[in-house]
Amino acid sequence: MLYDKARIFVQAGGGGNGCMSFRREAHVPKGGPDGGDGGHGGAVVLLCDDSFRDLQSFKRRAHYKAGRGRHGEGNQRHGADGEDLIVRVPPGTQVIDETGTILHDLVVPGTRITIAAGGSGGRGNKKFAGATHQSPTFAERGLDGAESWLDLQLKLLADVGLVGLPNAGKSSMLGRMTRAAPKVANYPFTTLEPILGTLDGDERQLVLADIPGLIEGASDGAGLGHEFLAHVERTRLLVHVLDLAPLDGSDPEENYATIERELAEYDGRLATLPRILALSKADLVSPEEAEVTAQVWRERFAAELPELEEWEEPVEATPVLITSSATGLGLEELKAELFRRVPVLVDAPLPPGLDAGESLEEHRVFRPAAGRRSKDFEVEQVEDGLWRVAGEGVDRLIARHDMENMDALAHVERRLHRMGVIRALEAEGFAPGDDVEIGGVVFELDPS
């Protein structure tokens, strides 16, 4: 079966801790600090790999964790970076977060996307040594890597989608026109999963997808259609396969209306895609009856064409072809029509916000001037004598340091001064001796 959905947990590696060390060597009275930095944690990277076709591998494994960075050591030995974890996914994979937002859409093979960034390594005490502080007795801790649950959803990359009621002849048509070998039988819902086939032309190829048969209510979850309608979204053209002589005695016109209604209710864009109507199983009716039916549909589509003004481009009516997978009738004509109506994508899409007449060289990266950075923290008084400061930057600062170490605490206070936290607290009424909570750690802050 086709595995087109998966839920995975990704965890990037944490950064290594910096080392607090002093050089001790015989006959060297003043060694000084020599602690090395911790290594960066490895990232979790998704790689779009054309050798994969579904998400089956994720059914056996759901947790993916990259390597963590090594800790720094004395003698200025830096820790090694953690190894990135490469997770391979097939083209057409969408990455969705827990809020339902589509984060990435992997279409082009070879595309790499970092979905969990590794934690940065801590600096050793050697990095904090200076003219006024020559013997720092603290080092930074490494930060944890990002982690989250993600949903992967596969939408097949097909140029043409074959749609129709169950047992309309889609699988037989796909098997006759391409090298695909779908299971074919004389009962409804033979196709339980989308099947791809490659249609070869003189200079190009098209990918055809046999979408499982849709029934009334498919867009609301009835039958098999709701699970696989998503695979029609990427197609650029639809072939509506309509049985000329349904074995159940149903009306072909009502069958056509059912499928078109379900496609439109699922996604309004599908209603605007170009169509080809393939009247299938022509070998089961007389040639005269097949031609009369085809002419009725041609006249109907011609009557539905909008009235055009003089300056507008003419619009072609939906082609109506008589086909038979048993005898091959009309399949070469259908093949030619597919290659004619599916355009070749020559140019890759431009980046968002870039017009066709602009060049990439005209765009510049804006970097705010020093001292103009906006405040990225919030200050509030929790209770009398207790203040809370919240923000990503201050939380990271506290997470990196041991607040029981007086040297580290003094360093943190200097950093808070430079970040403007002390000024913000004093503006709100902070008094010396009050406690401050940052990142879940409560400590006494000396604003002097």
Using an 8 Å Cβ cutoff, are 173 and 241 in contact?
yes
Greater confidence (277 vs 57) lies with 277
Task: Write the pLDDT tens digit of every residue in 195-244.
Answer: 777 787 777 777 788 877 554 444 444 444 445 566 676 788 899 999 99
Whether residue 115 has pLDDT greater than 90: yes
Pair of tokens at residue 208: 């055809």
Strand order in the sheet with 112-116: 85-89, 44-48, 112-116
Question: Residue 351: its pLDDT value, please?
Answer: 39
β-bridge partners, 277: 240, 320
Q: Are residues 264 and 293 in the same domain?
A: yes
Residues 337 and 428 in one domain: no
Q: Do residues 52 and 88 touch, judged by C-beta distance below 8 A?
A: yes
The answer to whether position 353 is within a domain reads no
* pLDDT of residue 286 exceeding 90: yes
Task: Note whether 295 and 191 are same-domain residues.
Answer: yes
Contacts 24+ apart (CB under 8 A), 297-305: 301/277
Tell the burial category of 333 from Cβ atoms under 10 Å away from its Cβ (0-12, 13-18, 19+).
Answer: middle
Whether residues 62 and 127 share a domain: the answer is yes
Q: Are residues 177 and 324 in the same domain?
A: yes
**One domain for residues 40 and 106:** yes
Distance CA 194, CA 173 (A): 14
Q: Average the pLDDT over 383-409 and give the result.
A: 89
Boundary of a domain, candidates 154, 175, 205: 154
Task: Answer for the pair 352, 310: CB distance below 8 angstroms, yes or no.
Answer: no
Q: What is the pLDDT of residue 363?
A: 39
Give SS3 for 159: coil
**Across the chain, what does the average pLDDT equal?**
81
The two counts, helices (H) then strands (E), for the chain are: 8, 18
* Coil, strand or helix at 133: coil
Q: Do 223 and 263 form a contact (C-beta atoms < 8 A)?
A: no
CATH number of the domain residue 390 falls in? 3.30.300.350
Q: Is residue 244 in some structural domain?
A: yes
Angle at 56 between CA 52 and CA 61, to 5 degrees: 115
Residues 182 and 139 in one domain: no
The encoded tokens of residue 343 equal 């355009």
- CA-CA-CA-CA torsion for 279, 284, 287, 288, nearest 10 degrees? -90
Question: What confidence tens digit (pLDDT) does each residue in 6-30 have?
Answer: 999 999 999 999 999 998 777 776 6
**Structure letter (DSSP) for residue 192:** -
| Residue 275 and residue 290 in one domain | yes
Q: How confident is the model at residue 78 (pLDDT cuts 50, 70, 90)?
A: very high
Beta bridge partners of 160: 208, 237
Q: What is the SS3 assignment for 24?
A: coil
Tokens 């066709």 -> residue: 356
Contacts of 18 (CB under 8 A, 6+ apart): 35, 36, 37, 38, 71, 72, 121, 122, 123, 124, 125, 127, 139, 140, 141, 142
Range with lowest mean pLDDT among 184-198, 359-373, 407-421: 359-373
Which among 60, 89, 206 is positioned nearest to 152, based on CA atoms? 89
In a domain, 407, yes or no: yes
> Looking at the structure, do residues 286 and 165 belong to the same domain, yes or no?
yes
Q: What is the CATH number of the domain that holds 42?
A: 2.70.210.12
- In the block, tokens 């977060």 appear at 97
Average pLDDT over residues 47-59: 83
pLDDT, one tens digit per residue, over 312-368 is: 566 678 899 999 988 999 999 999 999 888 876 544 444 344 343 333 334 344 444
pLDDT of residue 226: 47
pLDDT of 102 strictly over 60: yes
Residue-range definition of the domain harbouring residue 61: 1-154
Using alpha carbons, select from 65, 76, 81, 75 the residue that is nearest to residue 15. Answer: 81
For residue 165, give the CATH number of its domain.
Answer: 3.40.50.300
Q: Which residue, among 185, 190, 167, 163, has the nearest Cα to 247 in the 3D structure?
A: 167
Asked whether residue 311 is domain-assigned, the answer is: no
Instruction: Identify the pLDDT of residue 31.
Output: 76
Lowest mean pLDDT among 182-186, 235-239, 256-260, 273-277: 182-186
pLDDT tens digit sequence for 79-94: 999 999 999 998 888 8
Q: Does 368 fall in a domain?
A: no
Identify the residue with better confidence: 10 or 423: 10
Share of the chain above pLDDT 90, in %: 34
Kindly state whether residue 9 falls inside one of the protein's structural domains. yes
Please identify, among 154, 188, 215, the residue that sits at the C-terminal boundary of a domain. 154
Query: Are 184 and 263 within one domain?
Result: yes
Number of domains present in the structure of the chain? 3
Q: pLDDT band at 177, cuts 50/70/90?
A: confident
Q: Are residues 147 and 61 in the same domain?
A: yes
Mean pLDDT of 415-427: 88
> Mean of the pLDDT values across residues 123-127?
92
Q: What is the pLDDT of residue 365?
A: 45
Per the rule left: phi > 0, alpha: psi between -120 and 50, beta: everything else, 353 is left
Output the pLDDT for position 47. 93
Classify residue 48: in a domain, yes or no: yes
Residue 439 within any structural domain of the chain: yes
Domain boundary, last residue among 154, 178, 207 = 154
In a shared domain, residues 218 and 189? yes
Distance between CA 328 and CA 433 in Å, rounded? 90
- CA angle 191–239–342, rounded 5-degree value: 125
- pLDDT tier, 179 (very low <50, low <70, confident <90, very high otherwise): low
